[in-house]
Structure 1
Amino acid sequence: MSEQTETREQQKEQPMDQPVKVNDVRDTAFYPETRSTMAILPQGGSESCGCGGTGGMSSNGTGVVSYVYAIGRVEARFPNLSAEKEFFQATGRTDTAGKTDQQAFHAVLSRRENRYLVRQLCWVLTIQGLETYLLQPRDPADIDMLVDAIRPAPAPNDIDVVIGLRGPIAPPEMCNGLMVPIIVFDQIYSFGRDALIKAIPKPEKMTDKQFGPAAEELFDRIMQMTDNAGATDEHRVLNYLAMRYPAIYTKAAEKFGDEYSLTGIEVIQSSLSSTRKILKVVFSYTNRNTDFTEKFFVRVDATEEFPFLVTKMSPYYDR
């Protein structure tokens, strides 16, 4: 069924360039350490794709592996009545005095002897309140990341970032009739939005009062972006920058301070990306008084599962 292989995200710098595709979007940032990936994704039927490459067959038979870099919320659900009843029996064996329902739920799933319950549950990633994916770990040991995503005291601004490979549509019996694509994940980051904003390095001349609202606005705009399920190269690149490249926040805060508005974001394929998928992300800022527009861009490699920065943010000039 699977082999175990470790891949580590690596940062490279190799300049490239040119437009092809435009996506009107909005943005964000953060950058926790990436965990190593393992194993092989089971594909439709008996086929499988090689870990970390793009040469295997996808589950939909297109011949292309579909990577996902999605931002949403992880939820645990009972796939059937039997699993629900078994969970309640396990709860009766756990000390939950004084705990809320959510705290008790987390306490039961966190106990080592209840790992079988974690495997019984179905794990749903919702994006903007919509059930978007079902989650399965590529390495069984990574099931702990699902438990970590179920906070004992959840907050409205909690965030889960899921990185993995997109599989087939789930059969109806897998999660009580829910039929959405499966993500076989390699990494899940779980944190709160406030922690995200605080982790972004603030420009020296800017106060928290100035920088915080600018960063929050960028983050909210990318989260509310239409149809960003993190499955296209354009959306994967934007979500990567949102989580891993704080310079987009710094630049936005600087331009807001100079009376500019963020008026557009384009994701454009580089003309020099021959054997690799290099995308340029262009941020447009327009002066609120003069209507003069300045543009800045970064290049990101989206060839494999983990996007990475190719060139840092710099001025962009239309040809």
Structure 2
Amino acid sequence: MEQSEVNESLATKCVSSGEPEQLTMVARRATHSLAPQSCPTCGTVPSTGGAMHTDPSFIYAIGRIEARFPRPGVEKEFAQATGRSDTAGLTDRQAVQKVLAQRQNRYLARQLCWVMSIEGLETYLLTPRDPLDLELLVEALRPTPSPMDLDCVIGIRGPIAPPDICNGLMVPMVIFDQIYSFDRDSLIRAIPRPETIADEAFPPAAAELFDRIMQLADNAGATDEHRALNYCAVRYHAIYANAADAFARNEMLKGVDVIPSRLSGARNIVDVIFSYSHRNTDVTQKFFVRVDVTEEFPFLITKLSPYYDR
């Protein structure tokens, strides 16, 4: 099958499955820029009753963003732009960030592949819904990167990228609406410390919980469970204070689980459960947070409370 036929087939599948119109346009290779469309029914497909419905796949993922050259021509053009800039004394990463940050070189940022890796695995290709949000991608390229650097991406997942989009890399494309770039230590320092917990005890406790959430298997931020977990990790500081309290009581973090809430109905709601067991008595205490993950942006329903098994 010719490549054009493959791409057209992918675009047809994208429409039939209700994927956003922007991603359909990429699959057809009409453009590499996914600007938002004005169509009021973009991303919808007819139901059997003739009405329109939408079934998007939301992303709330935590990983690292990097830029890549999709084609040799783009790499050569970037080299010429670098030659016109004053990059003496800069590292390669610093030079890349400086060149892309300059307004006259913004056309290069639009040509690059923006890849999000999670736990070292290439997971998504990113593109902004609003072209002005290209700035968020450029800012994610730190001049002095650290292994602790993290990026939180919120958006909508689309089809697998055609091989000609990013030099043969075939991973799901994501139209993002927001990116938070931070490092783990800064996140922990920003968490309010309860007065009952010593200064030296709180950072290790918060780091332990954060790392456990990040290391959960296959956490690509695509399922409701993982989206809820990642939301709590970056937006709800009470779970860290609770972990520090548990460690002070000589308890260990036994597990983090996410289950559908009994309150689910018209809304998609999950319970995020944190289990702590006493190191001497093995008595387990559980606490939970109730999160609504119906829409692209999760939000808190119930604050941290004791959890009792059914």
Alignment TM-score, normalising by the size of structure 1: 0.82
Unmatched segments (≥5 aa) in structure 2 = 1-19, 28-35, 47-52
Identical aligned residues as a percent: 63
CA contact 2:23–2:173 (8 Å) conserved in 1 = no
Alignment of 1:139-178 (within 5 A): 139-178=130-169
Q: Is 1:44 matched with 2:35?
A: no
Please name the residue that 2:3 is paired with.
Answer: none
CA contact 2:213–2:256 (8 Å) conserved in 1 = no
Question: Which string of whole-angstrom CA distances, capped at 9 and with x for unpartnered residues, describes residues 44-64 of structure 1?
Answer: 369x9999x998359xxx962
SS of the counterpart of 1:208? coil
Q: Is 1:185 matched with 2:176?
A: yes
SS of the counterpart of 1:172? coil
1: CA distance between counterparts of 2:224 and 2:74? 37
2: CA distance between counterparts of 1:184 and 1:41? 11
Structure possessing the higher radius of gyration over alpha carbons: 2
Alignment of 1:161-240 (within 5 A): 161-240=152-231
Distance 1:166 1:294, change over 3 A: same
Query: Residue 205 of structure 1: CA displacement?
Result: 1.9
Distance 1:110 1:55, change over 3 A: closer
The one-letter code matched in structure 2 to 1:209 is: E
Please name the residue that 2:264 is paired with.
Answer: 273
**Larger RCO (CA under 8 A, 6+ residues apart):** 1
Distance 1:41 1:191, change over 3 A: farther
What's the RMSD between the two structures over aligned residues?
2.3
Q: Is 1:125 matched with 2:125?
A: no
1: CA distance between counterparts of 2:286 and 2:38? 39
Please name the residue that 2:70 is paired with.
Answer: 79
Query: Residue 283 of structure 1: CA displacement?
Result: 1.1
2: CA distance between counterparts of 1:207 and 1:270? 35
Question: Which string of whole-angstrom CA distances, capped at 9 and with x for unpartnered residues, describes residues 54-91 of structure 1?
Answer: 98359xxx962100000000000000110000000000
The one-letter code matched in structure 1 to 2:305 is: S
Alignment of 1:20-39 (within 5 A): none
Which has more helix, going by share of residues?
Answer: 2
2: CA distance between counterparts of 1:235 and 1:188? 17
SS of the counterpart of 2:164? coil
Distance 1:94 1:118, change over 3 A: same
Query: Residue 272 of structure 1: CA displacement?
Result: 2.2
1: CA distance between counterparts of 2:260 and 2:147? 35
SS of the counterpart of 2:266? coil
SS of the counterpart of 1:116? helix
Q: How many residues align?
A: 276
Query: Which residue of 101, 113, 116 maps to 2:107?
Result: 116
Query: Which residue of 301, 313, 317 maps to 2:304?
Result: 313
Query: Residue 270 of structure 1: CA displacement?
Result: 1.5
1: CA distance between counterparts of 2:115 and 2:143? 17
Question: Which string of whole-angstrom CA distances, capped at 9 and with x for unpartnered residues, describes residues 18-44 of structure 1?
Answer: xxxxxxxxxxxxxxxxxxxxxx75243
CA contact 1:77–1:123 (8 Å) conserved in 2 = yes
Unmatched segments (≥5 aa) in structure 1 = 1-39
Alignment TM-score, normalising by the size of structure 2: 0.84
1: CA distance between counterparts of 2:109 and 2:130? 14
